[in-house]
Structure 1
Amino acid sequence: MSQPSKWPLPPESSRFVVPRKIIDQLRHHPISQDLYPMGFGYYKSARNHTMLRRTHDDYLLIYCLDGAGKLTVEKSEYHIQAGDLILLPRGKSHAYHADHSQPWTIYWIHFAGPRADDFIDYIANSAGPGDNTSSYVTPLGMHSRLVGEFEALLGSRQTSYDLNGFIHASSLLRQLLTLIAEIRPLARQQEAANSLDLERIHSLMQARVHEQLDLDTLAAAANLSKFHFVTKYKELTGTTPINHFIHLKIEKACYLLDATNNAIGEVSFAVGYDDAYYFSRIFKKVMGISPTQYRRMRTGAVSYKAE
């Protein structure tokens, strides 16, 4: 794997490098040998984040969620902003850094495999006629589905540290790359003067599902007052933004209850609730059963019905 960043990791960011022993197993397993992750992470407001690689021996994907940065590839410079996707093949020396005044928030993945070039070509060929975007940078815009795929990949490392968990991560990587090819033709967004960019709002929610998020932050992202933001959001979705955010948290909690053996308190903390009792109340209000009952469902010890 190419040299990872030495940027000091703050509490709300994550970085995971796949152990070399596991990479060797992925490289030889029939399910994962064609394409597999070597490292992935999420950097929030990555102030002073910088990287220079003269030797690049894997493939790198970066998706910018917020802020800005700068990329240099073979003496060409690219200014990166929210919604931009960076996709670098191996062998391309490069440098990048977060903007000093508006440091970017990014997802990133290093990956490898003999089919990696095929996936990059597939994404490149998905562009519609007249697309003149760079071969390294694509302005995809904000897509909540894409954020969800990154979050699923990040969540896969919580399931286990055996080979099966990483084979699943390899499948998630394949799914993420094919989703990029699907949404790339829709990259040009036409925003009407008073429209609400739901994808941007939902992407922000997905990325912050493990934290707290208030109406002020969401309304600011939409460039609307709180009143007009809530009104417009409800007109388009039939629910309130906070209610949707809570449901995203509960979806994430259900995944963790299904896929891990983490204690209820750990699951609560992972979706942004410091108080496990309060989390259990919210969970039961949404799902009709407690987190403990939900977990017991997978063993058949309890049926799915409200009390």
Structure 2
Amino acid sequence: MVSQLAEHPLSEQLYPLGIGYYQLARGHEMRREQHDDFLLIYCLEGSGRVEFGTRGKRRIIRPGDLLVLPRGTPHHYWTDHKDPWSIYWIHFDGSLSQTFVDQLAIDPQSPLLSLGIHSRLVADFEAVLDMRQARHHLGSYLHSANQLRQLMTHIALLRPLAKLQQDEALDLEKVHSLMQARLHEQLDVETLAAAVSLSKYHFIKKYKTLTGTTPINHFIQLKIERACHLLDVTNKGIKEIAWAVGYEDAYYFSRIFRKMMGISPTQYREIRLGGSSYRS
């Protein structure tokens, strides 16, 4: 199967060699002087140690850490005896393996990326893990190879966000949770900034660096997403839906909705009910 993946045009650039999930793996340890593929280890709980390179540098592995060991890196890793880790692991190869690893911008002094625990990343690992049920069916393995591409690019996306959050101490989860809780009303930047103990100026700057947009624009987007949901699943009128997402003026709400969605709330509902189409 590996030979087929290495030759198939849909998988030759990146494909998994093996994958697993070890839960509370007391006593787990591995030493390799010769390492001829690429390895990812994502720690969900517990802790461990890794010794890597010809000089045997050591690092502690904690929950949320991703260990990335490129081809040719001698290594020795082991779980903590008193606090055994739970980890996902993937060995992989392919003609673009090094390119995908390079995209992660790993510090040459450390093979660890402190990403934090992300449910969507866990879901990515689980999706590739489903390969174990493939029963050596090539189509399933091709699918897993392309899921591995998605996982690697997802890590690359999380990498700068995690670093900025660590360096800049901006808790996006806290900000977005507050936004979600206040969708039915208005919310100003000062309130959001105060929630994470930052000045308005520094909050806007850090938020935009992390997300590519402003906090208010994101808040409006969440409101419109909520409005779309209400248009989909309820019979409420446009004025009621406007009130439900914090707009007292239904006409103003409709203008914001059109600006975000390209159509009016009424047109959106007609399309969703099959009474119109996006081309009309």
TM-score, with length taken from structure 1: 0.52
SS in 2 for 1:37: strand
**Distance across 1 between alignment mates of 2:92 and 2:85:** 21
What are the within-5 Å matches in structure 2 for residues 206-221 of structure 1? none
1:178 aligns with 2:159: no
Larger C-alpha radius of gyration, 1 or 2?
2
Q: Tell me, yes or no, if the aligned pair for 1:157 and 1:166 is still in contact at 8 Å.
A: no
Over 3 Å counting, the alpha-carbon distance change for 1:111 and 1:197 in structure 2 is farther
The structure in which a higher percent of residues are helix is: 2
Corresponding residue of 2:3: 24
1:112 aligns with 2:93: yes
**Distance across 1 between alignment mates of 2:74 and 2:48:** 17
Corresponding residue of 2:249: none
Q: Tell me, yes or no, if the aligned pair for 1:191 and 1:197 is still in contact at 8 Å.
A: no
Corresponding residue of 1:103: 84
Alpha-carbon displacement from aligned partner over 1:61-110 (angstroms, at most 9, x marks no partner): 00000000000002100000000000010111100000011011000000
**Distance across 2 between alignment mates of 1:84 and 1:133:** 16
SS in 2 for 1:123: coil
Corresponding residue of 2:21: 42
Over 3 Å counting, the alpha-carbon distance change for 1:191 and 1:47 in structure 2 is farther
**Distance across 2 between alignment mates of 1:97 and 1:135:** 16
1:157 positional shift: 2.9
The answer for unaligned runs of 5 or more in structure 1 is 1-21, 126-131, 199-307
Worse-superposed segment, 48-57 or 183-192:
183-192
1:52 to 20, 28, 31: 31
1:84 aligns with 2:59: no
Identity percentage over the alignment?
A: 47
**Distance across 1 between alignment mates of 2:22 and 2:132:** 16
Corresponding residue of 1:124: 105
What are the within-5 Å matches in structure 2 for residues 145-184 of structure 1? 145-184=120-159
Alpha-carbon displacement from aligned partner over 1:86-143 (angstroms, at most 9, x marks no partner): 0010111100000011011000000001100000111117xxxxxx685410111111
Residue-pair matches, total? 170
2:116 to 124, 138, 141: 141
**Distance across 1 between alignment mates of 2:87 and 2:175:** 23
1:156 positional shift: 3.3
Q: Tell me, yes or no, if the aligned pair for 2:59 and 2:110 is still in contact at 8 Å.
A: no
Q: Tell me, yes or no, if the aligned pair for 1:124 and 1:135 is still in contact at 8 Å.
A: no
Q: Tell me, yes or no, if the aligned pair for 2:25 and 2:85 is still in contact at 8 Å.
A: yes
- Give the letter aligned to residue 3 of structure 2: D
TM-score, with length taken from structure 2: 0.57
What are the within-5 Å matches in structure 2 for residues 194-209 of structure 1? none
Q: Tell me, yes or no, if the aligned pair for 2:26 and 2:85 is still in contact at 8 Å.
A: yes
2:48 to 56, 69, 83: 69
- Give the letter aligned to residue 155 of structure 1: D
1:196 positional shift: 11
1:161 positional shift: 2.4
SS in 2 for 1:157: helix
Q: Tell me, yes or no, if the aligned pair for 1:84 and 1:140 is still in contact at 8 Å.
A: yes
Alpha-carbon displacement from aligned partner over 1:255-285 (angstroms, at most 9, x marks no partner): xxxxxxxxxxxxxxxxxxxxxxxxxxxxxxx
**Distance across 2 between alignment mates of 1:159 and 1:175:** 19
SS in 2 for 1:25: helix
Worse-superposed segment, 168-177 or 133-142:
133-142
Q: CA RMSD in A?
A: 2.3
Q: Tell me, yes or no, if the aligned pair for 2:17 and 2:91 is still in contact at 8 Å.
A: yes
SS in 2 for 1:100: coil
The answer for unaligned runs of 5 or more in structure 2 is 178-280
SS in 2 for 1:90: coil
Q: Tell me, yes or no, if the aligned pair for 2:41 and 2:66 is still in contact at 8 Å.
A: yes
1:185 positional shift: 1.1
SS in 2 for 1:124: coil
1:150 positional shift: 0.4
After TM superposition, what 4+ stretches of structure 1 lie above 4 angstroms from structure 2? 132-135, 195-198
